[in-house]
Amino acid sequence: MWRRMISLLRKEFAQLSRDKAILFILIWSFTGGIYTAGHGMSGDINNLPIVIYDLCRESESRDLISRFRPPYFKVMAYLQAESEITEWLDSGKASLAVIIPPDFKRKIAAGEQAKVQTISDGTISMTATLAIGYIAQIADAYSRQILEKRGQAASLSLKNLPVIDERLRVQFNPNVLSSWFTALLELFNMFTMISLLLTAAAMVREKEYGTLEQLLLSPANPSEIFMAKIIPTVMLVLPLSSLSIFLILKGTFHIPIRGSLLLFYAVTAIYVFTISSLGIAIATVSRNLAQAMMTMFLVLMPMLYLSGAWTPPEAMSPVVRVLTLLSPMRYFIDFGFNVLFKGNGFFYIWPDIIGILIMGVLLFSFSKWWFHRSIAK
Amino acid sequence: MRAMTAQGYVSAVDAQFNQKMVSQYLSRVGGQSVAGVYPIAVEGRAWYNPSLESKNFMIPGLLVLTLIMYPPMLVVLAIVREKELGTIFNLYCSPIRRWEVVFGKAIPYIAIVFINYLMIFTLSVLLFKVRFTGSFLLLSAGALLYIASTVGLGLCISVLSRSQIAAMLLSFIVIMLPSFMFSGFMAPITSMDATGQFISRFIPASYFMGMVRGIYLKGLGFSYYKWDLASLAAYAVIVYGIFIISFKKRIA
């Protein structure tokens, strides 16, 4: 059995190494791809273009305006007429308008409540929600300053207002760098996509060329043929992941890797096996690569949405939350963040490992069953 | 990401509580002179999507992404398969001209994907009930140019690869992932750093994204989008140009 396996593996590696471009693309996706993802994409607001329509034009309103500054906001223009707001927001050159009413100074002076209005571009609703939060925080800080001043004028010691001074400390990612999150998530996505694409393509190719029949005539059985497709993927992805962890995650993002790398590699190997089995399963049901690719997207997209990467499973509706249990990515992302970020050990993540294993074994058996069925026809 | 969202909520709750505490404290301690209300209140309103419903934001974005996920991959595989199987030599040997090859390959895909676009549009309006306020004709014109460029982008990738696996990985890394990350689908392009903004210039989806969301929700007309349309047209001309130049016919 081992001799058959080794010769099958030699064949697979020979086929893979025939196209040097593949290796180059793989190296790029695990280094440059992750680097650009972590740096370029940010879930936070940076330099959001805003316009200001100041009807008050007093020192108070200017004081408030001066607080809208980079890195969060970038003031594009000070408007003269209300119609200009429409123009800026319509053209998308500004994503938010701040309107300060003419009675701003008078109301503050009179101890009434002055209202600042913001109009945001609802077409980018996610950003709009975040931006309004920031503006509220800025206005709040300014309000408190006004109150303190007022208190001083009334010779009250308002230095210790009964406010909750929130000092949020975020565990495991102290500066809440979204680049850490994105880069790590991108690495996990790469594991998924590369294992899926590579294995499925290698399998479908045999069908397209008609060489699958030759393999079947050989003494190798279907399990061995499948394993010979899966093992090269595992052997390629593991060194590539080290490259990415040491060169990119540690080297350029300075992400502290807390957990045991050995555990990480071991589970990654199991995960790649599971996803590759999914690739094999897709390949056995499709006739050519284009077909397999379309099926892969059909599977990959829900898997991504259900993985809990963008929305935590706790926030999903109950039905969808049960469905997430079907996405192997969900287990792996949970495992990956737990081990690499938090440094948790085996004790915390064994359910994830079992989840990944069960999915893998199921998919592998499905491929075998379908394969037997299609040969019998 | 999650930490950030949670942090936002905590801050908001905290700020509200603080406001209450401060006003109570002031009216108790300060008496009339400083009593009363919190000096500044922020009123947030959103235009175009007043309740900030995420479907109005996601579905037009997904329309753009779907039209760049499948077409380039399908075209790339169609051509590279001919390379792998050797049938491409039939094309090399035949008396047809280079541009005839290009359009012969591209037009069926453009047509299919355009039908696909019509289906997605119908679903988005009828099933998902996304607000649609703009001109359908303008959106379709933009979609046609956009689809032409995504299909053309697929043709360009096919020049670079010899095997189907390489072609697939390449279009994945070069087209799909950047479109997903840098087209402005999740976060606006203005929030990206210089690298991200630079990359976004090379993706047709970033030109189409603003346009689709604008037409769907803002209901704006041609004059707002003439530059996006022109950019898409220029993009299409460039990608087809590259393919025609690099597709060398070998004359026996």
Instruction: List all residues of chain B from 211 to 230 with a beta carbon under 8 Å from chain A.
Output: 213-214, 216-218, 220, 224
Co-location of B67 and B140 in the same domain: yes
Q: Is the pLDDT of residue B143 over 90?
A: yes
Task: Encode pLDDT of A240-288 as tens digits.
Answer: 988 888 888 888 888 887 778 888 898 999 999 999 999 999 998 888 8
Instruction: List all residues of chain A from 41 to 80 with a beta carbon under 8 Å from chain B.
Output: 41-49, 64, 74
Q: Do B181 and A47 touch (CB under 8 A)?
A: no
Note whether B57 and A126 are within 8 A (CB): yes
Structural domain span for residue B23: 1-43
Note whether B160 and B170 are within 8 A (CB): yes
A52 torsion bin: left (phi>0), alpha (psi -120 to 50), beta (else): beta
What percent of chain A stands above pLDDT 70? Answer: 89
Q: Is the pLDDT of residue A228 over 80?
A: yes
Check CB contact of A170 with chain B, cutoff 8 Å: yes
List Cα–Cα distances, A71 to A67, A122, B132, B197, in angstroms: 11, 21, 34, 16
In degrees rounded to 5, what are phi and psi of residue A49? -70, 120
B80 Cα to chain A: minimum distance (Å): 11
A279 or A144: which carries more pLDDT confidence? A279
Co-location of B128 and B8 in the same domain: no
Domain annotation covers residue B136: yes
Domain count of the fold of chain B = 2
The H or E element containing residue B127 is: none
Q: Is the pLDDT of residue B1 over 60?
A: no
Residue A67's nearest CA partner among A1, A144, A135 is A135
B28 or A147: which carries more pLDDT confidence? A147
Residue keyed to tokens 């940076």? A46
List Cα–Cα distances, A333 to A308, A323, B176, in angstroms: 8, 16, 21
Task: From chain A, pick out residues whose CB is under 8 angstroms from the CB of B56.
Answer: 122-123, 125
Domain annotation covers residue B48: no
Q: Do B192 and A46 touch (CB under 8 A)?
A: yes
Task: Encode pLDDT of B98-139 as tens digits.
Answer: 788 888 888 999 999 999 999 999 999 898 888 888 888 999
Residue A52 is encoded by which pair of tokens?
């200001």
Co-location of B107 and B210 in the same domain: yes
Q: Do A46 and B165 touch (CB under 8 A)?
A: no
Q: Do A40 and B192 touch (CB under 8 A)?
A: yes
Co-location of B167 and B73 in the same domain: yes
Task: From chain A, pick out residues whose CB is under 8 angstroms from the CB of B190.
Answer: 46-49, 74, 95
Residue spans of the domains in chain A: they are: 2-41+176-376, 48-153
Amino acid found at A360: G
Task: From chain B, pick out residues whose CB is under 8 angstroms from the CB of A137.
Answer: 11, 15
* pLDDT of amino acid B169: 86
Question: Which residue of A lies nearest to B56 if distances are taken between CA atoms?
Answer: A123
A265 Cα to chain B: minimum distance (Å): 23
Q: How many residues does chain B have?
A: 252
CA distance A94 to A88: 5
A9 Cα to chain B: minimum distance (Å): 18
Q: Do A116 and B52 touch (CB under 8 A)?
A: no
Task: From chain A, pick out residues whose CB is under 8 angstroms from the CB of B188.
Answer: 48, 95, 124, 127
Question: Which residue of A lies nearest to B74 if distances are taken between CA atoms?
Answer: A290
Q: Is the pLDDT of residue B35 over 60?
A: no
B173 Cα to chain A: minimum distance (Å): 7
Q: Is the pLDDT of residue A100 over 70?
A: yes
What HEC string does B198-245 produce? HHHCCCHHHHHHHHHHHHHHHCCCHHHHHHHHHHHHHHHHHHHHHHHH
Domain annotation covers residue B252: no
Co-location of B39 and B61 in the same domain: no
What HEC string does chain A produce? CHHHHHHHHHHHHHHHHHCHHHHHHHHHHHCHHHHHHHHHCCCCCCCEEEEEEECCCCHHHHHHHCCCCCCCEEEEEECCCCHHHHHHHHHCCCCEEEEECCCHHHHHHCCCCEEEEEEEEHHHHHHHHHHHHHHHHHHHHHHHHHHHHHHHHCCCCCCCCCCCCCCCCCCCCCCCCHHHHHHHHHHHHHHHHHHHHHHHHHHHHHHHHCCHHHHHHCCCCHHHHHHHHHHHHHHHHHHHHHHHHHHHHHCCCCCCCCCCHHHHHHHHHHHHHHHHHHHHHHHHHCCCHHHHHHHHHHHHHHHHHCCCCCCCHHHCCHHHHHHHHHCHHHHHHHHHHHHHHCCCCHHHHHHHHHHHHHHHHHHHHHHHHHHHHHHHC
Instruction: List all residues of chain B from 162 to 191 with a beta carbon under 8 Å from chain A.
Output: 162-166, 168-170, 172-173, 177-178, 181-182, 184, 186-188, 190-191
CA distance B185 to B192: 12
Query: Could you tell me the CATH superfamily of domain A48-153?
Result: abc type-2 transporter like domain (3.40.1710.10)
Domain annotation covers residue B183: yes
Co-location of B139 and B17 in the same domain: no
Q: Do A117 and B43 touch (CB under 8 A)?
A: yes
B248 Cα to chain A: minimum distance (Å): 21
Residue A51's nearest CA partner among A65, A38, A61 is A65
Co-location of B64 and B165 in the same domain: yes
Q: Do A90 and B163 touch (CB under 8 A)?
A: no
Q: Is the pLDDT of residue A40 over 70?
A: no
Domain annotation covers residue B197: yes
Task: Encode pLDDT of A311-356 as tens digits.
Answer: 677 777 788 777 877 888 888 888 888 888 777 777 778 888 888 8
- What number is the average pLDDT over the span B79-83? 87
Q: Do B161 and A64 touch (CB under 8 A)?
A: no
Check CB contact of B26 with chain A, cutoff 8 Å: yes
Co-location of B34 and B116 in the same domain: no
Co-location of B17 and B59 in the same domain: no
A120 strand-pairing partners: A96, B46
* pLDDT of amino acid B3: 56
- DSSP secondary structure code for residue B87 in this structure: T
Note whether B174 and B188 are within 8 A (CB): no
* pLDDT of amino acid B252: 39
Note whether A35 and A252 are within 8 A (CB): yes
Co-location of B166 and B208 in the same domain: yes
* Residue B149, helix vs strand vs coil: helix
Co-location of B39 and B82 in the same domain: no
Co-location of B69 and B16 in the same domain: no
List Cα–Cα distances, B161 to A174, A219, B101, in angstroms: 43, 34, 18
Check CB contact of B20 with chain A, cutoff 8 Å: no
Q: Do B78 and A124 touch (CB under 8 A)?
A: no
Q: Do A122 and B78 touch (CB under 8 A)?
A: no
* pLDDT of amino acid B22: 67
Check CB contact of A10 with chain B, cutoff 8 Å: no
Question: Which residue of A lies nearest to B175 if distances are taken between CA atoms?
Answer: A33
* pLDDT of amino acid B27: 63
Residue keyed to tokens 């305006």? A65
Confidence of residue A78 (pLDDT cuts 50, 70, 90): confident
